[in-house]
Structure 1
Amino acid sequence: MFTFSSSRALALRSALFALVSLPLHSQASEQTQVYVSTSLESNTAFTVSFDAAPRVSQLVSEGARVIRPHLLNQAQAHQSELIYWQGASLFSNTLSDATTDLLESVKADLHTLSAEWADDAEYKASVDALIGYIEDSTFRERLDVPLDEDFYLMGSRINPLANGDLTLILPRRPEQVTVIGAVVEPKHVPFATLTDANGYLAHIDTLNTFGISEVAVVAMNGELANHKIAYWNGEAQNIPPGAVIFVPFQRLPFGLSSLNEKLPRLLQHRVM
């Protein structure tokens, strides 16, 4: 069985999860609670509770059922599906030790890099802006399971149990792409169909003086891919709506060379 309640999302993200949760029953250890919304910034949020661990298909079905009525007012005439399933995400609200270590390592590296580049105002400002972006982001442990409702309606044999304190994001189709990393400042660029990374970087002031051979692209569903974009290795790859493009840093100081690899992996756990 399940129950659900709606609540207005609060301005303080850190308090939101605690305030929207339903009271636990006596068998709290067996109950699964799922916070459901289109995003953490949404004004409409729900908590769906299951007395026992549900299958992911149940979780997705109930999440979609409570969200769809509240997307109708924002729907465009041409939209056949209110939920952008390619961007759906499921998170545990507790970070694993490995992801916690990754987050702290990235933060430490960025602060070290800011200090190392203190004599270069443009480079330091870029790193400080990225520090702000990371600090303002919410990170949860992403659960790597299929979340498209049609995937389960077709009778998939892949349908694991889900339990614990979870967050299910069922977004609208986003209208922008975000570019971060070795740029003057993180920037949102309007999404354009059939556009590759170079198309978005044309709108950005980057720090790279030796050209950019590839960038990391993190889709809303957590998929991570490296896109080769130089004239000598370029491969046309479209960027999905809502993706984050990470432009790697050049001439990183000794000991910080792994930052370009660690930061995109951390972004896979960012709640978009």
Structure 2
Amino acid sequence: MNKLLTSWLINLIIILSATGYAIASETTITVQHSNKQPISITFEHAPRVDSAILTATNHHHLSLMDIDWLQSKLFDNTAPFSLKGETLSSIREQEARAKGKDKPYWQALSTQFQEWHFSARVMTPLDPDTTRLDVNKNPRLRGQYQLYLRDISAEPTINVLGYVKQPRTLPWYPRKSAVDYLEITKPISSSHSSVWVIQPDGQAFEYPIAYWNYQFHNIAPGAIIYVPMPLNLVGNKSTTNKDTNQLVIELLTHKLPL
């Protein structure tokens, strides 16, 4: 009797463990498209990126040609994302230390970041024609994700923020450099020799803009131009030993579409 009971308990534990594993291994992807209602897709087994994308486009009855892959984004919501809180804390510290004329610009940056949403971005191409050719660009997805598919016909824009008089969203134009967009948004200081550009694929680059070091760089639609803020460096290090501008740039790579 004891042996039967022991065997029964072992089998029950195995079944419960397997059930728990199956539940834990489920992947749910919330899919948003600029012209359609959001949907949630649950996968019993962790899909690779290309499989998840093809399933999402099929659910929305979309052709792969309908998608702007450069501006489409995938975010991992499985774990808490603490970078926004750390960045806002650093911005508020700078605002408290800033000279009078700079305080409004720190306040504007803080307000903007409170309004925007951020999550851990999966830094991989999303076009199945690219991901299926390289397993390193085609990871398995386990957990909770948000997928944003941008319609190819959507109006292209760029964002300019930071130490400028008129931070705003602007229409994107081909063959325009960061300098062209800054002429519209008016930098507060003329002493900047470079700005940071977060391209839509999540890569951040420092581009020279001064007359003595200028080099033309293409800015893709969906990019963010960040003009670094003047820092009070006393005690301005985060738990990761990054200053406020570095935190801002890193956080912008994880920005969710509006």
Category of TM-score, reference length = shorter chain: 0.7 to 0.9
The equivalent position to 1:259 in structure 2, one of 221, 239, 244, is 244
Find the residue that maps to 2:146 and give its secondary structure: strand
Find the residue that maps to 2:31 and give its secondary structure: strand
Once the two structures are overlaid, the 10-residue window that deviates more, 57-66 or 196-205, is 57-66
Q: Is the 8 A contact 1:178 1:242 kept in 2?
A: yes
The equivalent position to 2:76 in structure 1, one of 92, 97, 109, is 92
Distance 2:164 2:50 in 1: 40
Distance 1:33 1:249 in 2: 39
Q: In the alignment, which residue of structure 2 is the partner of 1:239?
A: 219
Q: In the alignment, which residue of structure 2 is the partner of 1:199?
A: 180
Find the residue that maps to 2:53 and give its secondary structure: helix
Q: In the alignment, which residue of structure 1 is the partner of 2:85?
A: 104
User: Displacement of 1:253 after TM fit?
Assistant: 4.4
Find the residue that maps to 2:185 and give its secondary structure: coil
Unmatched segments (≥5 aa) in structure 2: 1-18, 238-242
Unmatched segments (≥5 aa) in structure 1: 1-24, 73-79
Distance 2:61 2:201 in 1: 19
Provide Cα deviations, 1:133-158, integer angstroms capped at 9, x if missing partner.
110111111112221122145x4343
Q: In the alignment, which residue of structure 1 is the partner of 2:67?
A: 83
User: Displacement of 1:67 after TM fit?
Assistant: 3.6
What letter matches 1:242 in structure 2? G
Distance 1:193 1:233 in 2: 22
Length-normalised TM-score, structure 2: 0.80
Q: Is the 8 A contact 1:57 1:149 kept in 2?
A: yes
User: Displacement of 1:83 after TM fit?
Assistant: 0.9
Once the two structures are overlaid, the 10-residue window that deviates more, 83-92 or 247-256, is 247-256
Distance 1:237 1:215 in 2: 12
Q: In the alignment, which residue of structure 2 is the partner of 1:76?
A: none
Sort the Cα spacing of 1:246 and 1:95 in 2 relative to 1 into closer, same or farther, 3 A.
farther
Distance 1:136 1:28 in 2: 34
The equivalent position to 2:134 in structure 1, one of 139, 150, 156, is 156
Q: In the alignment, which residue of structure 2 is the partner of 1:32?
A: 27
Alignment of 1:1-272 (within 5 A): 27-38=22-33, 44-69=37-62, 81-95=65-79, 100=82, 102-117=83-98, 119-120=100-101, 123-152=102-131, 155-158=133-136, 159-173=138-152, 174-210=155-191, 212-250=192-230, 252-256=232-236, 258-272=243-257
Q: Is the 8 A contact 2:98 2:232 kept in 1?
A: no
Sort the Cα spacing of 1:29 and 1:94 in 2 relative to 1 into closer, same or farther, 3 A.
closer
Sort the Cα spacing of 1:254 and 1:44 in 2 relative to 1 into closer, same or farther, 3 A.
same
What letter matches 2:254 in structure 1? H
Length-normalised TM-score, structure 1: 0.77
Distance 1:224 1:67 in 2: 31
Distance 1:116 1:253 in 2: 10
Find the residue that maps to 1:87 and give its secondary structure: coil
**Identity of counterpart residues, as a percentage?**
26
Q: Is the 8 A contact 2:118 2:255 kept in 1?
A: yes
Larger Rg: 2
Runs of 4+ in 1 over 4 A off after TM superposition: none
Q: Is the 8 A contact 1:68 1:83 kept in 2?
A: no
User: Displacement of 1:213 after TM fit?
Assistant: 1.0
Count the aligned residue pairs. 230
Q: Is the 8 A contact 1:179 1:245 kept in 2?
A: yes
Alignment RMSD (CA, Å): 2.4
Q: Is the 8 A contact 2:97 2:232 kept in 1?
A: no
Sort the Cα spacing of 1:90 and 1:82 in 2 relative to 1 into closer, same or farther, 3 A.
same
Q: Is the 8 A contact 1:95 1:140 kept in 2?
A: no
